[in-house]
Chains A and B, each alone.
Chain A
Amino acid sequence: MDSGWLFVAVAFTLVWGTLAGYMGYLAQRARTAVATLTPPPPAVAPIDDGRNSAP
C-alpha cells in the first residue's frame, strides 16, 4: 500500500478516535447532570396483606 494512504488512515483514525472519546465524555457528563437533577422516586410503604404480620 502507498505510504500516503497509511498516513491518511492513521491521521483519520486519531482524529475520529479523539472526537468519539470526547463525545463519550460529554455523554457521561450529561447523564450525570440529569441523574443529579432527577428527583428520587417517592418512598412506597410496604403493603401489609397480613401474611408478614406477627401473630
Chain B
Amino acid sequence: MLTLESAPAPGRAQRVAEPTALRGARVLGGITALTMLVAVAMTFFYAPPDLVQGQAQRIFYFHVPLAWVAYLAFFVVLVGSIGYLWQRQERWDRLAAASAEIGLVLTSLVLISGSMWGKTIWGTWWSWDPRLTATLVLWFIYVGYTMVRALTTEPARGRRLAAVLGIVGFLDVPIVHQSVVWWRSLHPAPVVLNAAGPQLPAPMLATLLVSLLAYTLLYGFLLQWRVRIARLEAQATAGRLQAALEDR
C-alpha cells in the first residue's frame, strides 16, 4: 500500500491536483477501522480480568500492540535509511522520515500507557527499570532524528545525517526487547514469544492477537498517508521553485 513514486518537479502549468486519499488507502482505512472496533470490543468486553492485576491488566491490550508497532516503525526507518544511503533516492528518505514520525508518536503512547499501568500495579508512575529506561532512550533517539531533519540548513546533509541516525538508533530496539531477559526488571518475562509457547489463557491471547493486527493495520494506514503527504509537499516545493525561476 505504500506510495513510493519519486516526486517529479512540475512547472506551474503541469501542476496536478490529487485527491487527499486514494481508493486503496480508503479500503485500508475501512479494514483498519473495522478491525480496531473488534479489538476494542474484545479488550473491554471479551477478555477476562487478570487474577492478580484485575481490570487494570486490560491496558496490556493496547500497550503491547503500540510497543510492537513502534518497533516495526523503527525497523522501517532502518530500511528507509539504508535504502537512502545506498540509492540516494528521496522516496527512501520520505519513507524513513514518515515512519520515524509515526514511531515517535507511538513510543510516546507506549510510555504514557505504561506509566499508567505501572501506577496501578507497581504503585509508581516511573521506575528506572531497564526496559523503561531503554524505551525512554529510544524515544530520545527519534526526537534527535526529527530534530536533525528539522534543524539542518542543508537538506541533503540533513537527510544523510538522519539516515545514519536511523540505522544506529535501531540498535536500541533489540536492547529494549531483550532488556527483561538480560537484566533484572519489573517487567515480566515475555509471555507470548516464549520458548514454551504463549503463556496466556486463550481469550487473552485471542484479544492480544486481534489487537496486534488492528494496530499493525493502523500503522500501515498512517504510513501510506504520511508518505503521500510528504510526496505532495515535495511536489508543491518543486512547483514553487519552478515558478520562482520562471518569474525571474
Question: Would you call A14 and B229 a contact (CB within 8 A)?
Answer: no
Q: Which residue of the partner chain, among A3, A27, A34, contacts B17 with CB atoms under 8 Å?
A: A34
The verdict on A8 contacting B55 (CB below 8 Å), with A29-B229, A33-B229 known, is yes
Question: Would you call B15 and A38 a contact (CB within 8 A)?
Answer: yes
Question: Would you call A26 and B55 a contact (CB within 8 A)?
Answer: no
Chain B residues with CB under 8 A of A27:
20
Within 8 A of B (CB), among A1-23: 2-5, 7-8, 10-12, 14-15, 18-19, 22-23
Q: Does B58 contact A (CB under 8 A)?
A: yes
Measured as residues with beta carbon below 8 angstroms from the partner, the interface class of chain A is: 20 to 34
Q: Does A31 contact B (CB under 8 A)?
A: yes
Question: Would you call B229 and A30 a contact (CB within 8 A)?
Answer: yes
Determine how close the nearest CB of chain B comes to the CB of A30; give it in whole angstroms.
4
In the assembly, what is the distance between CA of A26 and CA of B55, in Å? 34
Question: Would you call B232 and A37 a contact (CB within 8 A)?
Answer: yes
Chain A residues with CB under 8 A of B17:
34, 37-39
Q: Does A36 contact B (CB under 8 A)?
A: yes
Question: Would you call A2 and B54 a contact (CB within 8 A)?
Answer: yes
Q: Which residue of the partner chain, among B54, B105, B232, B236, contacts A18 with CB atoms under 8 Å?
A: B105
Question: Would you call B225 and A7 a contact (CB within 8 A)?
Answer: no
Question: Would you call A15 and B112 a contact (CB within 8 A)?
Answer: yes
Question: Would you call B18 and A34 a contact (CB within 8 A)?
Answer: yes
Determine how close the nearest CB of chain B comes to the CB of A34; give it in whole angstroms.
6
Question: Would you call A7 and B119 a contact (CB within 8 A)?
Answer: yes
Shortest Cβ distance from B19 into A: residue: A34
Determine how close the nearest CB of chain A comes to the CB of B69; give it in whole angstroms.
11
Shortest Cβ distance from B58 into A: residue: A8
Question: Would you call B225 and A30 a contact (CB within 8 A)?
Answer: yes
Determine how close the nearest CB of chain B comes to the CB of A11; give it in whole angstroms.
4
Shortest Cβ distance from A7 into B: residue: B120
Question: Would you call A37 and B18 a contact (CB within 8 A)?
Answer: yes
Shortest Cβ distance from B226 into A: residue: A26
Question: Would you call B120 and A14 a contact (CB within 8 A)?
Answer: no
In the assembly, what is the distance between CA of A12 and CA of B65, in Å? 13
Question: Would you call B18 and A15 a contact (CB within 8 A)?
Answer: no
Contact sample, A vs B, 15 pairs, CB 8 Å cutoff: A2-B54, A3-B56, A4-B55, A8-B56, A8-B58, A10-B116, A15-B113, A19-B109, A19-B218, A23-B222, A30-B21, A36-B236, A37-B17, A38-B15, A39-B15
Sample of 16 further A-B pairs with CB below 8 A, known A5-B55, A7-B59 = A2-B55, A4-B49, A4-B54, A7-B119, A8-B56, A11-B62, A14-B112, A15-B66, A19-B105, A19-B109, A26-B226, A29-B229, A30-B232, A33-B233, A34-B17, A34-B232
A interface residue numbers (CB < 8 A to B): 2-5, 7-8, 10-12, 14-15, 18-19, 22-23, 26-27, 29-31, 33-34, 36-39
